[in-house]
Chain A
Amino acid sequence: MGGTGKMSAQISSDSARKCLVMLWLIGSGALFLIFIIQSIGQKYGARVQDAWGWLLPTIMPTLSLMVGVLVSNAGMPQPKTGKSDRFIFFLALGFSFAYLTAVISTVLVQPFVKGNPLDLFRMSSLWLGPLQGLVAAVLGVFFIKAERSANN
């Protein structure tokens, strides 16, 4: 029973990693697509760099970390039996989903907000900054644990 319980508290590291990376790629892809169309539509006019200057630091550090880990692992043989803590995985997944939802919502809510959208972006760093820190911490723990599990 104890063995079964322990098994159910774990998840395949490979699947968990891919799931997280897919979530980030989809979320970031949607954001990039919106920003590209907005840039072409002159939404931000001469201040298009300011808009991208908000987006890139918002998603690129975490996305780069995850893609980097995935690519580095792709080059070496991985044991298929590597397991990750299910709780840490769902925590990372939940935080990632909440963070990406908050970022996308900030962009999508623009038409209903009075004033300059860049001011909204600047203000959003109040809640996105702490959330980004939490996401990075949880993802870091997840990937380190997954790596250790694969090496043992």
Chain B
Amino acid sequence: MRNLHGQLLLACLVACFVMAIEGCTNRRELAPVLLKFPEFPWPPPEASASAVIPAQSLANPKSVTTFDDVNRRLVGALESTGYLERSYFAVPGGFALATRMEQIKASGEPEDAAHRWILERQPLQKFELSAYLAALFKASPGRYRVIVFIATPHPFSQSDDSVTSSDATDWMREGVDQLPVEVGQRHFDNPKCTALIYEFTRTSDVTAPELSNPSAITGRDHLMRAGIWGGLAK
């Protein structure tokens, strides 16, 4: 009887040992893989327009401002105006936040919700002679925009590199979905943030949108008509 108990105890110990080893292995597999914080092209490629966001719109009035505070202000303003997708990159001394490419009107306002996030030429859904003839004979031009907010204490200029619409679209995929904690916790006294507007214009049905440089409107007008400027001022 004692022998049987001894064997059972031994079996339990072996089982526990095996489970412990497997548990360790699985934990190792499930351990969060720290992604490298991807870098934004630096200095940033030439933009269509830019605007410096006032420090008081970004600072935390109650305590020392961190990058996380700046990020929260930016995200709040963006989400209130429909920019729900964003992508983060590392820049020297701070971070860059890129919005998803959207379709805009010539005035700088976003297109209607149904067409705002559609980048391809859309076919006619029903036949109307005037619309059909226009679609057959004329190009259906489009304007597109990506806004990149660069939060860094360092002054910077733009490079001569030209960015394509494909590059700008890829920024959404290439960046990370949230500001890394270690970046967010850093202090950012007297916060500085510059919005770079990359505006693209498609002039024909068969060519890719090309960077409009300079934009027909200022960077601040872009932000105001997108509703972001007002959102930051609140």
Residues of A within 8 A of B (CB): 34, 37-38, 41-47, 50-51, 108, 110-118
- Most chain A beta carbons < 10 A, residue from B121, B123, B135, B136: B136
Q: Top 6 closest A-B pairs, CB basis?
A: A45-B204, A111-B135, A41-B138, A45-B207, A42-B139, A41-B137
* CB <8 Å contact, B204 and A110: no
* Segment 118-166 of B: residues with Cβ below 8 Å from A: 120-124, 131-132, 135-139
* Segment 34-88 of B: residues with Cβ below 8 Å from A: none
- Say whether B114 faces chain A, with CB atoms less than 8 Å apart: no
Instruction: Determine the residue in chain B with the shortest Cβ distance to A115.
Output: B120
5 more A-B residue pairs beyond the given contacts A44-B205, A45-B203, A114-B121, with a C-beta to C-beta distance below 8 A: A42-B204, A43-B137, A43-B204, A111-B136, A118-B206
How far does the Cβ of B165 sit from chain A's closest Cβ, in whole Å? 14
Contacts of B204 in A (CB 8 A): 42-47
* CB <8 Å contact, B207 and A43: no
CA distance A50 to B206 in the complex (A): 10
Contacts of B206 in A (CB 8 A): 43-45, 47, 50-51, 116-118
Interface of B is mostly: loop
Instruction: Determine the residue in chain B with the shortest Cβ distance to A51.
Output: B206
Instruction: Determine the residue in chain B with the shortest Cβ distance to A43.
Output: B139
CA distance A114 to B119 in the complex (A): 12
* CB <8 Å contact, B137 and A117: no
Instruction: Determine the residue in chain A with the shortest Cβ distance to B135.
Output: A111
A111-B139 contact in complex given A43-B204, A44-B205, A117-B205, C-beta closer than 8 Å: no
CA distance A57 to B119 in the complex (A): 32
